[in-house]
Chain A
Amino acid sequence: MPDTSNQVRLRVRYKKDGRLAYLGHLEVLGTINRSIRRSCVPFAVGNGFARRIRLQFSQALPVGASSAGEYYDLMLTQRLEPAEALRMLAGATPTGLAPNAAAYVSRKLPALEAWLNRAAWEVRMPRFVAPHDLDATFSQLRDAGELRYMRGERQKRIDLTSALVGWDVSTEGEDLLLRLDTRSSNNGSLRPQILIDAALAKILPADGDAGPARVPLRVCRTGQWHEEENGNLVKPMPSQEE
């Protein structure tokens, strides 16, 4: 087995916006993998059967959702200056997924996907329900605890008392502006669309057998953090890079 002890773990923050908000998670993974190859940074390749780049991502974003801050951890075989690595990666990545910060982190940290367990979201939608109705319905849903919903053919459930940390409903022009704070765990994570669909199903009259029409949302993940056991929020990037 090759010696991997000299490998370093580079954390990269990138955005997902514009047209590329419509990429699915696997499409983002594939695109960033190829961007890394194009960039010529000294990436490490795993020793497994498929010989993949040693790379980990933060939690999947829904198709159509944009983000101000997504992350990946990339193992490098040489320690480049973070600014140089960032320049190389940015030059090889489509604009809609452009990286905008990079820093080395400890190799001992847990995998990003599990470690980043808190997220903030901003959701814009047409204002056809009253803000206070939506606010009150979110309270009801959280007080009820478990939320059941369908994902394809399968019924899924999520505990809102843990997953829905907080929210704020306001208006901006013709839009409703929602800010949500969510927490993920081994039991799942809460997607804004699920919560809003459930709330609107309570507020709006059902549209025949088809149920309420799905409302067009503009969803953006505005931030991600690690929540320590005492409730402190830790930023993903070391502070000097923020």
Chain B
Amino acid sequence: MRLRREDLYHRLEPLLGQVEKPSRYLDHEWGAIEEQDGPFHVALMYPDVYEVGLPNMGLSILYSILNKVDGMSCERGYLPWVDMADLMRAHDVPLLALESSSPIASFDVVGFTLAHEMACTNIVEALDLSRIPVRAADRAEDDAIVIAGGPSVWNCEPVAPMFDAVLLGDGEEALVQMCACVSDGRTAGKPRAQILLDLSRIQGVYVPSLYDVVVDDSSTRWGYAVPRPGTGAPEVVLKRCLQDFAGTDPLPHRIVPYMDVVQDRLAVEILRGCCRGCRFCQAGMTYRPVRERPAEQVIEAAKEGLRITGHDEVSLTSLSTTDHSQCAAILHQLNADVRDQGVRVSIPSQRLDSFGVDMAAEVGGSKKGGLTFAPEAGSQRLRDVINKNVSEKDIDVAAENAFRNGWRRMKLYFMIGLPTETDDDIVAINKVADHLLEIGRTVVGKGPKSGVSVSISVAVFVPKSHTPFQWCGQLRLEEVRRRQQLLLHTCPDHAIKISYHDAEVSLVEAVLSKMGRAGFDLIYTAWRHGCRFDAWTDEFSFERWQEAAAELGLDLEDIASTDIPLDRRLPWEHTSPGVSKGFLKREWHRAAQGVTTDDCTMTSCVGCGVCPKLGVDLAIVGDRHAGHQ
């Protein structure tokens, strides 16, 4: 039932003194848009706590855009931490939006960010706290239209039963069209089912209820989705892709939080997409093509953003910031312009070559903390398999450059369980670390006072949809643990610190990445068993996931580790980022042969299919360069 739109802050306020970090629930931040006159009201929800959700760039962009549309207002919502959620249930307070403190269930449209698979039980929790029926099929005529979008839509089948519609790809224009469609439909008195049909006519919008899941010999056990006869829904929903990225507002990030948030700084998105072609990387396949903002726009936006927010740090964000064709010029000019104000410029990650270190030196100034690189695999053979186009020489030169520039601590990210991995590849991880340690000691000097240290962080590979590795099974838990032990026991030096990701979390992530629509029963049952905030180490409970799986007769390890034959129809094929299946298969075969594929922004087209399929093109503002400067 649609709740009444009314300010319920007076019901929340008495609870604030009883919870951790009450500033999560206050609203009234600098830059928040308090005029929420509507009459059409949208709530955008991030399914985690405030400090994780607030810095999200996607939500900032959409919040800013929707609030500029005549007749529409947009508010923010986050999931309360467990203490507050329990108190709200005990005191019969529904989940509220921040700006107006009105119930989420009173809004016309409620949109969720699908940030990653491990947030799925949080979406159930948010809907339940909001008092919106969790399943779209159970919603009444006047209930909110619940939609989703974001980086993790590319196998949205397991969460699809919760959504009336899912947007694939860029939301700048599409979300406005979706909201206008709902608004017009409501004004015209159309029934809910008709509004959903209308939504399915917008390019990039997937309406799950218009599709049946078919399981047959051509599919996996999770089946594939086909449009219901007579609905006119497209067989394949192609993502939305905004060609004129540089024409969008470079400064949507305007709300200044009171509390410490996970990325507590101004962010300017300087480019979108990455075509390096790492074969494990879903974002690299789904955000194509690459579109850059020109240097002048980035610099002006950063300076204007610092002025209106008062932040003392600006981060130039993207999937691969140092690949921007004008990266050096941007960093140099921006640093020169803001340094005197005690402002720091930062970039989210370093490219693993000499240029990457030069850029890190440019932003770090005299501050030399740790430097982080992601070789992902220990041996050159395996790096070629995953198309991480980084040579041993690149790593050596980058490390030497870093140590010479004053860095002492180096952190390296690797994965285990990658396709074709052998014990030799595991041992090679230690060899890379040991070699870098040796370079550091040669450049800086030996002994504990030199401060040289290398740490390794090892994640477990999770096969993701729409990547060349989408057909792979995940390594079984027992084998993951054996390889972790092998890594530990072949570590040659105490100065190398090794840390692991929790293999059980990665297992659940793989399960949710592989299952089809039937995955929703698992998610819902896990939530009933108490799962929420699964991405938080202290809250994650593998036992509860196992209990839920057992209740449904599922075996989590079997699901995650099953290889899929290349000729099967996949559960996510009806939602497409534009990358062709032929390209993915070709990349899979090249991976097996250890043959690498170039980055089309630095050489020539590699035939992924995105540009012709979507009618878009690369938008590179200068000349890109792959190698050393």
Contact = CB atoms under 8 A, between A and B. Distances in A.
A216 B310 contact: no
A22 B27 CA distance: 11
B26 interface: yes
The 7 closest A-B pairs by CB, nearest first: A34-B310, A51-B342, A37-B310, A38-B310, A22-B22, A45-B342, A27-B258
A53 B308 CA distance: 17
B310 A92 contact: yes
Contacts of A53: 342
Given A19-B26, A37-B341, A51-B342, A31 B258 contact: yes
Nearest to A24: B23
Interface string A181-219: 000000000000000000000000000000000001000
Given A51-B342, A63-B22, A64-B22, A38 B17 contact: no
Interface string A19-33: 110111011001101
Contacts of A19: 13, 26-28
Interface in A1-56: 18-20, 22-24, 26-27, 30-31, 33-38, 40, 45-46, 49-53
A96 interface: yes
Interface of B: 13-14, 16-17, 21-23, 26-30, 256, 258-260, 306-312, 340-342, 366-367
A24 B257 CA distance: 13
Contacts of A23: 23, 26, 258
A238 interface: no
Given A19-B27, A19-B28, A22-B23, A34 B309 contact: yes
A156 to B, nearest CB: 20
A41 to B, nearest CB: 12
Interface string A86-100: 000000101110000
A49 B309 CA distance: 23
Contact of B311 (A34, A40, A51): A34
A64 B30 contact: no
B260 A38 contact: no
A27 B259 contact: yes
Contacts of B259: 24, 27
A52 B310 CA distance: 13
Contact of A37 (B16, B23, B312): B312
Contacts of B367: 49
A33 B30 CA distance: 13
Given A34-B256, A52-B342, A64-B17, A20 B310 contact: no
B28 A34 contact: no
Contacts of B13: 19
Contacts of A27: 23, 258-260
A38 B258 contact: no
Contacts of A49: 366-367
Given A27-B259, A34-B256, A49-B367, A216 B28 contact: no
Contacts of A46: 342
Nearest to A93: B30
Given A53-B342, A92-B310, A34 B30 contact: yes
Contacts of B16: 22, 64
